[in-house]
């Protein structure tokens, strides 16, 4: 039996705000899935979690395909069949997410009140892998279905970590300025002093504040200021690595 490829849109729950672990507002996102209408995947027998390392196979109804997936899954995992019509989020996580161009769609921008600077941006759509902690999704062998609701995605940053990092970078740069042989120009020293001040002001500027849309500033949305000593690689030139080769002499 041939593999049946489908294209479908599906709607799923998302948190009240990106990476917040609450869903009180009933927010949703809509995504597209293009892929097999059924896939085979491995579920860890002990934990009930998806074993992403085993990959997936498009289900064509053939014994050879099932046996191949069982061999790949190994003794510690159970092969299950997942239908895109029933679990599009799971199929998207397995099949689609790695080929996604997240910069192609509409971006949501975050600005402070009275400040037109874009301090943080993300895709307007909260994709399933950023809505849910995929490694924590579980399958029930009792009901032969995935346990829902899926666990929310965990934040990757907290206030203590981001603020301590800012102070650490500021102190490191101050140590450079305090050295007698820093080799910086007066202009670079002045820029570094401004950089240090901005780093030390991160807590005052962002913690406890709100974005212009009324949402609270979260630690994973806080950017560091641009480093005035950062070196930008030059654009490739003719004849240089990465550029067009020079024409051979006639």
What DSSP assignment string belongs to 92-103? IIIIIGGG--TT
Is 88 inside a domain boundary? yes
Q: Give the tens place of pLDDT for each residue, 26-70.
A: 999 999 999 999 999 999 999 999 999 999 999 999 999 999 999
- Whether residues 189 and 138 fall in one domain: no
For the entire predicted model, the pTM comes to 0.83
Are residues 178 and 98 part of one domain? no
pLDDT at 242 over 60: no
Residues 35 and 63 in one domain: yes
118 vs 237, higher pLDDT: 118
Band of residue 244 on the pLDDT scale cut at 50, 70, 90: very low
The parent domain of residue 167 ranges over 159-221
Q: Is residue 91 part of a domain?
A: yes
State whether 142 and 214 are in the same domain: no
Prior bond of 149 cis (ω within 30°): yes
Helix axes 186-200, 159-178, angle to 10 degrees: 160
Q: Are residues 10 and 55 in the same domain?
A: yes
Q: Across all residues in the chain, what is the average pLDDT?
A: 92
pLDDT of residue 247: 42
The number of domains in the chain is 2
Q: State the average pLDDT over residues 12-33.
A: 95
pLDDT of residue 109: 96
Q: Which residues pair with 80 in a beta bridge?
A: 41
243: in domain:
no
Whether residues 87 and 205 fall in one domain: no
Q: Which two tokens stand for residue 73?
A: 């899954």
The mean pLDDT of 82-102, rounded to a whole number, is 92
Q: What was the pLDDT predicted at 238?
A: 53
Q: What is the predicted pLDDT for the residue at 52?
A: 95
Distance CA 135, CA 189 (A): 46
Is 153 a residue whose pLDDT tops 80? yes
Report whether pLDDT(192) > 90.
yes
Handedness of CA 80, 84, 86, 91 (dihedral sign): positive
Chain centroid to Cα 86, Å, comes to 25
Residue 131 belongs to a domain = yes
Residues, the chain: 250
- Residue among 49, 43, 90, 41 at smallest CA distance from 66: 41
Tell me the pLDDT band of 237, cut-offs 50, 70 and 90. Answer: low
- Catalogue the E-assigned strands of 69-165: 77-83, 107-110, 120-123, 139-140, 145-146
116 domain-assigned? no
Q: Does residue 165 fall inside a structural domain?
A: yes
How does pLDDT run across 107-151, given as a tens digit for each residue? 999 999 999 999 999 999 999 999 999 999 999 999 999 999 999
Give the model's pLDDT for residue 234.
Answer: 67
248 pLDDT higher than 50: no
Distance CA 124, CA 138 (A): 27
Helix (H, G, I), strand (E, B) or coil at 9: strand
State mean pLDDT over 211-236: 90
Do 59 and 31 lie in one domain? The reply is: yes
pLDDT at 243: 45
């Amino acid at each position: 039996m041939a593999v049946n490829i489908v294209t479908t849109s599906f709607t799923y729950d998302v948190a009240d705000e990106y990476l917040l672990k609450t869903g009180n507002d009933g927010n949703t996102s809509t995504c597209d899935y293009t892929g097999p209408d059924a896939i085979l995947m491995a579920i860890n027998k002990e934990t009930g979690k998806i074993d992403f390392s085993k990959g997936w196979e498009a289900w064509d109804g053939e014994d050879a395909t099932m046996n191949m997936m069982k061999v790949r899954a190994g003794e510690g995992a159970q092969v299950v069949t997942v239908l895109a019509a029933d679990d599009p989020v799971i199929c998207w996580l397995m099949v689609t997410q790695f080929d996604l161009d997240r910069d192609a769609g509409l971006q949501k921008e975050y600005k402070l009140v009275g400040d037109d600077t874009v301090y943080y941006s993300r895709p307007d759509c909260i994709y399933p892998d950023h809505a849910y902690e995929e490694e924590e999704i579980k399958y029930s062998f009792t009901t032969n279905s995935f346990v829902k609701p899926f666990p929310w995605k965990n934040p990757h940053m907290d206030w203590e970590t981001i603020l301590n990092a800012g102070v650490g970078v500021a102190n490191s740069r101050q140590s450079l300025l305090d050295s007698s042989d820093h080799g910086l120009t007066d202009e670079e020293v002045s820029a570094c002093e401004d950089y240090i001040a901005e780093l030390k002001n991160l807590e005052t500027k962002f913690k406890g504040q709100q974005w212009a849309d009324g949402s609270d500033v979260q630690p994973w949305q806080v950017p560091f200021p641009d480093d005035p000593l950062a070196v930008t690689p030059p654009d490739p030139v003719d004849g240089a690595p990465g550029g067009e080769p020079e024409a051979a002499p006639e």
